[in-house]
Structure 1
Amino acid sequence: MPHQIIDNRTRKLADEINQQLEYTEKAKIAVGYFFLSGLESIEKRLQEKEPDGSFQIKEVRLLIGNVSNKSTIEELARGYRRLNTISKELERQNYPKSRERQIEVLKALNDVRDVISDVEQNDENQRLIQLLHQMIVEQRLKVKVYVKSRLHAKAYIFDFKNPQPQSKGIAIVGSSNLSLAGLTNNTELNVYVHDNGENHDELTRWFDNLWNDAEDFDTALFQEMAESWAIRPTTPYEIYIKTLYELVKDRIEGTDDREFLWQNEITEALTDFQNKAVKIIIGIIRQYGGAFASDVVGIGKSFIGAAVVKHFSITENAKPLIICPKSLEDMWRNYNAEYSLNAEVLPMSLLRESISEDDEWNLLVSDVKYRDRDFILIDESHHFRHQSPERYKILQDFMQTGNKKVLLLTATPRNKSAMDVYNQIKLFHTSDTTIIPINPPNLKDYFKKIQDKNTPTSEAKNLFRSLLQFILVRRTRQHILKWYGFDSKTHLKVDP
């Protein structure tokens, strides 16, 4: 019998997997990483059919880990943490709370999104993404994410089409991830595990235990691929806008006088003062990740917000989420339909209703409709001026996943305390360290200075205004009449 070692030198793992897939009906794969390149090596085998037209491989179960930003026990030890700190981290990883599990799944989804968006957009990669997408549709591919601890083991378990009592299948275990490097290039160490009546059952039991303790990933992965460049057709108009934007963005970014590259019903309906606000807000969001639109009541903040959402949807392919009071839900759904904002609309009340008895389930992180949304508009954001309500924590947990941009609409960002504004800022500015030009360059310290009883009232007001000038747009009716008004008799623009 030849040796059973696979090291990618004398024997390539990709060749061995393809050989075993020829005799396989079902496969179970446990790996630490998901890489599109790994699929290329086994693509043909996954599509082979029986004489009756059915697929030869009926099911592939893919269990992946998510190690992004996860501290391992070894890393903690190297940092000279105390023993009880290591024990607590180990307990947290082994028994994560539901909210932590949801966040880990969302991190895995972000990793997949990065993989899909970063690969070269060519026919080969498009074909691979379409294959994954189709296998999920056919229910031949099932994917889960293991979030309890780092999934370090790698195993490829093959169930034979014609199993025998002493040979139900075969497995390869070792160091290789499902990637081009892991299957062909890296120096790896893997070994065959032949069945002897027990080995295959034991490996299957090991895999099933992890599988049953993992989080479902099929639906999220399916939607991510369905909205990717490989599946969703790009219209000629979108290509035109994107090309034009890339050609001239250096000339239009950083100036408040830039014009929109796209024109439709919403931009044509904007008044001059609304148009000006939209452009300023876009610049603030690009620079700091979020902004307040705080014009007084009746100026059209919602319309301004809709135009900003539309801009980021077109120019950055953003996936908007609009969170609003229940009383405004119909208005936003109408805006969404009329102006094709491509947004999901969520009433604030559902955030409160999503809180389960054990306080662990998070609608925004759990529901596939919301969890990959990356441009968030919050209408009447003053409802989130306190950190104590549970819906604030639900929203904050969601904001901390991925790179989200935020627009806050409110005519009253501050009620009684400057901390009302601080708490809203923290929804898009999760770190206290800031590039906003304030001194000290730390939001928490800056607001402490504003709130300090020893700070004179006039100085506190100036500090507060100094911050808001960088992140907030607010005009009164008098301001708008002065700078944008027309004389009712002459119909000429008023001279300020």
Structure 2
Amino acid sequence: MSSTKFFTNESNNTLINKIEGIFNHRNIHFFDALVGYFRATGYFRIRPFIEKSQEIRILVGINVDKLIVEAQKQGVLFEVDVLKSQEDFVKDIKENIQKAEYKKEIEDGMLQLIKDLQNGKVKIKVHPKQNIHAKIYIFREETKHNHGYGAVITGSSNLTEAGLERNFEFNVELREDADIEFATDTFNRLWEESIPVSEEYIEKIKKETYLNDSFTPYEVYIKFLIEYFGKSVEFDPNSVSDLPKGFKRLSYQVDAVNDGYNKMMRHGGFFLADVVGLGKTIVSALIAKKFFYFNGFPSYVSRTLIIVPPALKGNWEETLDKFQFINYDIVTNGRRIINRCSKV
């Protein structure tokens, strides 16, 4: 029984291995790819093999159904929008780069893609007229001959890391001249109908992602803070900037508010413990106020319960009055004092 031409990415019989094998055993001059989805990380995976080609063309389909729906909502007929087609493509690439797991070799591969696009080694177009669900990879030597001058792989695999080797896919490799010619003719027709990705948009890919290497020292410092401290570096004007008259905005209290609020939302509560005089009452009030705003205020007013020793009751009442809290209860020694002010 002869071996099948189909493969499914199982048992190491993957699309990436098929591509590697074709380039290792043939002198491929032309490489064309017609895909529904293109990912920079997928290109990086095949780059070591296809760099042997002298001409590389990648044709990407876009979600025309989505564009038609958007046009219908506006009461107009769908028409090809050259700028939007390029913008949608670049937006997807940028998101892919930003979400990709960071590795030095991946970054180098993405930078190489941008370089390949800029120097013309790789040409990318987007097809804005019809949905392209087909996935076709065409390999051809420079000169056609009768001894097997190329191959065509078609099936379900997009040019993504998952499609190349992780997903269960259903692909077939064809080597007959008639199949190669039909695939090439169809690709050429679609290529002529498509829109090239201009150099302006290629520059955006680098400039508007972490691939940009022209940051100032201050921007690098801010990036470090965001990466290390996460959302705790964010400033919430609703809870911190509008302190009552007579209160100073102290940076360590701002940090405590942000960190405490995040812990409360993540774990359902937390302990705020510090030495006397550092403003635990103020920090607690600010956290409660921040929760008010994030919990739907003013359309919904949260209720706050405060339990304190008798000696601290007056201090809490005074602080909450200055912060103009409403809908709260103070409980001390079994007695409850309710204080409702006009606004938060």
User: What range describes the TM-score normalised by the shorter chain of this pair?
Assistant: 0.5 to 0.7
**Alignment partner, residue 259 of structure 2:** none
Distance in 2 separating the partners of 1:144 and 1:137: 14
User: Pick from 190, 206, 209: which aligns with 2:171?
Assistant: 190
Label 1:184 to 1:437 Cα distance change in 2 as closer, same or farther (>3 A): same
**Equivalent position of 1:2 in the other structure:** 3
Counterpart in 2 of 1:16? 18
Instruction: Name 1:464's counterpart in structure 2.
Output: none
Structure 1 residue 251: Cα displacement: 4.4
Task: Report whether the alignment pairs 1:249 with 2:233.
Answer: yes
Q: Does the Cα contact within 8 Å between 2:64 and 2:128 map onto a contact in 1?
A: no
Indicate how the Cα distance of structure 1 residues 37 and 242 shifts in structure 2: closer, same or farther if over 3 A, else same: closer
Q: Shift of the alpha carbon at 1:166?
A: 6.0
- Greater shift, 230-239 or 175-184, is seen at 230-239
Map residues 282-431 of structure 1 onto 2, 5 A cutoff.
Answer: none
TM superposition shift of 1:167:
3.4
Which residue in 2 is equivalent to 1:206?
186
Deviation at 1:255, TM superposition (A): 5.7
Distance in 1, matches of 2:211 and 2:20, equals 25
Contact persistence 1:8–1:187 (CA under 8 A):
yes
Corresponding residue for residue 129 of structure 2: 148
Aligned-partner Cα distance in 1 for 2:5–2:226: 56
Match of 1:107 in 2: 88
Letter of the 1:17 partner, please give it: I
The aligned residue for residue 245 of structure 2 is none
Structure 1 unaligned residues grouped into runs of 5+ = 48-55, 74-84, 86-91, 259-434, 439-496
Which of 61, 66, 71 is residue 65 of structure 1 equivalent to? 61
Report if the CA contact (8 A) 2:19-2:49 is conserved.
no
Q: How far apart in 2 are the matches of 1:119 and 1:253?
A: 32
Q: Shift of residue 256 of structure 1?
A: 7.9
Letter of the structure 1 residue corresponding to residue 129 of structure 2: K
Distance 1:64 1:240, change over 3 A: same
How many angstroms does 1:238 deviate by? 0.8
Q: TM-score, normalised by structure 2?
A: 0.60
Q: 1:103-252, aligned counterparts within 5 Å?
A: 103-165=84-146, 167-196=148-177, 198-227=178-207, 228-244=209-225, 247=229, 249-252=233-236
Residue aligned with 1:29, SS: strand
Give unmatched runs, 5+ long, in structure 2: 243-295, 300-344
Deviations 1:409-431 (A, max 9, x none): xxxxxxxxxxxxxxxxxxxxxxx
Distance 2:200 2:167 in 1: 30
Query: Compared with structure 1, are the counterparts of its residues 98 and 32 closer, same or farther at alpha carbon in structure 2 (3 Å cutoff)?
Result: closer
User: For residue 46 of structure 2, what is the amino acid of its counterpart?
Assistant: I
Q: Alpha-carbon deviation of 1:225?
A: 2.8
Residue pair 2:117, 2:123 contacting (<8 A) in 1 also: yes
Q: SS at 1:42's partner residue?
A: helix
2:214 & 2:93 partners in 1: Cα distance? 20
Q: Following TM superposition, by how much is the alpha carbon of 1:192 offset from its aligned partner in structure 2, in angstroms?
A: 1.4
Aligned equivalents of 2:19, 2:201: Cα separation in 1: 24
Corresponding residue for residue 34 of structure 1: 38
1:214: Cα distance to partner? 1.0
Number of residue pairs matched? Answer: 234
* Cα distance in 2, alignment partners of residues 195 and 218 from structure 1: 35
Identify if the C-alpha distance between structure 1 residues 68 and 199 changes in structure 2 by more than 3 Å, giving closer, same or farther: closer
AA matched with 2:20: N
Instruction: Check 1:238–1:115 CA distance in 2 against 1; reply closer, same or farther (3 A cut).
Output: same
Are the equivalent residues in 2 in contact too, given 1:155–1:174 (CA < 8 A)? yes
CA 1:108/1:167 → structure 2, altered by over 3 Å: closer, same or farther? Answer: same
| Deviation per residue, 1:60-80 (Å, 9 max, x gap) | 10111122872799xxxxxxx
Structure-1 separation of matches of 2:88 and 2:182: 31
Mapped partners of 1:37, 1:257: distance in 2: 43
Contact 1:28/1:157 (CA < 8 Å) preserved in 2? yes
> Map of 1:70-89 to 2, 5 A cutoff?
70=66
Q: State the AA in 2 paired with 1:192.
A: E
Residue 226 of structure 1, CA deviation: 2.8
Query: Post-superposition shift, 1:163?
Result: 3.2
In structure 2, the CA distance between the partners of 1:107 and 1:225, relative to structure 1 (3 Å rule), is: closer
Report the residue type matching 1:66 in the other structure: I
Change (3 A) 1:245 1:255: farther
TM-score normalised by L of structure 1: 0.42
Larger Rg: 2
- Structure 1 residue runs of 4+, over 4 Å off? 244-248, 435-438
Which amino acid in 1 is paired with 2:170? L
Cα distance in 2 between the residues matched to 1:138 and 1:16 = 27
Q: Is the 8 A contact 2:93 2:205 kept in 1?
A: no
